[in-house]
Amino acid sequence: MAAATATLGAPARTPSSYHRIRPPAPIPVGLLACQRDPLARDLATTAVSCRVSQSPTVPSNGREGKKKKAAPALTAPLIEVILHDTVIFPEGGGQPSDVGTLTSADGELWDVVEAKRHGGHAVHYVRLRPEQDVDNGLKVFAPGALVGVALGEAGYKRRLDHMCMHTSQHLLSAVLEHQLHVDTIAWSLTGAPAQEIAYVQEECNRLVFEGRAVHIEVEELDTAGAKVKSGPTVGIPDDYTGGVKRTVVIDGVDRNPCCGTHAPSLHNLQLYLLPHTEALARGGTAFAGSVRLYFLAGPRLLAHLGAAHTTLTAAAGVMNCGAPQVPERVQQVVDERRRATKRVEDLEAELAGPVAAELFERVAGGEEAQDDDGGNVLGFLSAVATSFAGKVAEAEGGATPFLLVLSSSPAAQSATSTTVVLVGPRWSGKFTGVWVENREGATAASILEGVQL
């Protein structure tokens, strides 16, 4: 029966709209777009969930450390958005969160101020602008809604900086560990640190010049074996669930579990170790006897070089010399200043005697006298007072009580100039403004007149 062989034609291709997951499940942290392609700047995706944040500030996950400054109190509402996928890296692996924007289907831009990993998912914290309202936010990020996610110019710059520093940290740790046989948290100062620093820097940059490739290997998460705490990362966090084990591999140099974003190659990551180390002398802790190394790489290194050059050029301009001569010229100026100060002190000490003698001739009992002076005014007035007391002791055998008030104003006075007043050798005060003899001077004189010795 030929009719029985009449069949349908070859099956058509199944349309992509055939299989729909409502709402789409989020891709777990570990496989996010920012981790698969760290150079991607934007992505079209869909919303998975959205809710109003319980707190006006992004909650701490307890990993920021004590040094993080308290965020200013913000009143604009915060909403938490989970997307199917994202190019915004949530804080993790020692790498800070990215910032960026979400674009809702109506074209409106929403600011992502931070992203954090909660369990296995990345949560985007969106701070509403003054003209944005919560209800609309919940509507445009409803499950399944189309969303654009982007780092933007500032967000990409920030990511590039983090990524370069982070990748360089892997390289530095690997060279320290594999070639000098020291852990990243236990570098003994025995030996010659300057030589070791130079060696490590040279070795790191040799690998940078070679442009060693970096890649990521992803495996099924083996919970039992994955909790290894090693390398520059803190291993896989206990609350990380439902994801994968990621290993960052620097070709021929290192393998380390890490969830951060890494440059695909060491190319252009030139690394500079600052010739400055800090001993971590916290006795009794795991860091006792360790040393903190400071390094710069990527855009941060270029920014540092620019700033250092500007500072040095400005100093050379002030010192009227070439940049290499700046340290020598600064030392000369400091030495000259030290000698000049000593000379002024010597001259004032010499001058105090004649000034006190002249005062002693002019005053009887208590009277105010005034001298213009600069530099160490109080020291000079004290020297005059001490010398004056010596004169009284010589002349009267120290029997006559006296009260001496000295004041010294700058020759040219202004509203901000300071007049120093010394009463006897023990009490001193300052007057800010213009000291007028028949005003402030008269007040001082009238107070003196009322004093009974």
Sheet harboring 214-220: ordered strands across? 214-220, 244-250, 254-257
| Other Cβ atoms within 10 Å of 36 Cβ, number | 14
Residue closer to Zn ion by CB (options 255, 337) is 255
Type of residue at 80: E
Residue closer to Zn ion by CB (options 163, 383) is 163
Task: Find the binding residues for Zn ion in span 129-168 (CB under 5 A).
Answer: none
Residue closer to Zn ion by CB (options 260, 366) is 260
42: nearest Cα among 191, 159, 134, 200: 159
Query: Which pair of structure tokens corresponds to residue 37?
Result: 């392609």
We find the least distance from the C-beta atom of residue 42 to Zn ion, in angstroms, to be 23
Type of residue at 36: R
Q: What CA–CA distances, in Å, run from 114 to 67, 88, 96?
A: 18, 9, 9
We find the least distance from the C-beta atom of residue 196 to Zn ion, in angstroms, to be 24
Query: Which residues are 271's β-sheet partners?
Result: 297
Task: Find the binding residues for Zn ion in span 318-377 (CB under 5 A).
Answer: none
We find the least distance from the C-beta atom of residue 51 to Zn ion, in angstroms, to be 30
We find the least distance from the C-beta atom of residue 262 to Zn ion, in angstroms, to be 6
Bridging pattern class, strands 244-250 and 271-280? unpaired
Distance CA 240, CA 439 (A): 76
We find the least distance from the C-beta atom of residue 64 to Zn ion, in angstroms, to be 18
Q: What CA–CA distances, in Å, run from 141 to 97, 131, 208, 210, 429?
A: 21, 17, 43, 45, 66
Using CB under 5 A, count the residues that bind Zn ion: 3
**Residue 383 touching Zn ion (CB under 5 A):** no
We find the least distance from the C-beta atom of residue 166 to Zn ion, in angstroms, to be 5
Question: What mask of x and - would describe binding to Zn ion in positions 237 to 266, judged by CB under 5 A?
Answer: ---------------------x-x------
Residue closer to Zn ion by CB (options 26, 93) is 93
Triad 196, 200, 204: Cα angle to 5° = 175
Residue closer to Zn ion by CB (options 260, 298) is 260
Distance CA 93, CA 91 (A): 7
Residue closer to Zn ion by CB (options 244, 355) is 244
214: nearest Cα among 162, 171, 158: 171
| Other Cβ atoms within 10 Å of 434 Cβ, number | 14
Residue closer to Zn ion by CB (options 114, 254) is 254
Distance CA 420, CA 93 (A): 59
Residue of this chain nearest to Zn ion (CB atom): 258
Distance CA 199, CA 204 (A): 9
Q: What CA–CA distances, in Å, run from 193 to 108, 113, 171, 291?
A: 55, 41, 19, 10
Residue closer to Zn ion by CB (options 150, 250) is 250
Question: What mask of x and - would describe binding to Zn ion in positions 176 to 205, judged by CB under 5 A?
Answer: ------------------------------
We find the least distance from the C-beta atom of residue 215 to Zn ion, in angstroms, to be 12
Is 389 within 8 Å of 353 (Cβ atoms)? Answer: no
We find the least distance from the C-beta atom of residue 260 to Zn ion, in angstroms, to be 4
Residue closer to Zn ion by CB (options 145, 258) is 258
Q: What is the DSSP track for 66-89?
A: TTSPPPPP--S-EEEEEESS-SS-
Question: What mask of x and - would describe binding to Zn ion in positions 84 to 123, judged by CB under 5 A?
Answer: ---------x------------------------------
Distance CA 63, CA 89 (A): 16
Residue closer to Zn ion by CB (options 91, 196) is 91
Residue closer to Zn ion by CB (options 89, 141) is 89
Residue closer to Zn ion by CB (options 86, 256) is 256
We find the least distance from the C-beta atom of residue 259 to Zn ion, in angstroms, to be 7
We find the least distance from the C-beta atom of residue 378 to Zn ion, in angstroms, to be 58
We find the least distance from the C-beta atom of residue 214 to Zn ion, in angstroms, to be 10
Q: What is the DSSP track for 355-390?
A: HHHHHHHH-SSS-EEEEE--SSHHHHHHHHHHHHHH
We find the least distance from the C-beta atom of residue 254 to Zn ion, in angstroms, to be 10
What residue ranges bind Zn ion (CB under 5 A)? 93, 258, 260
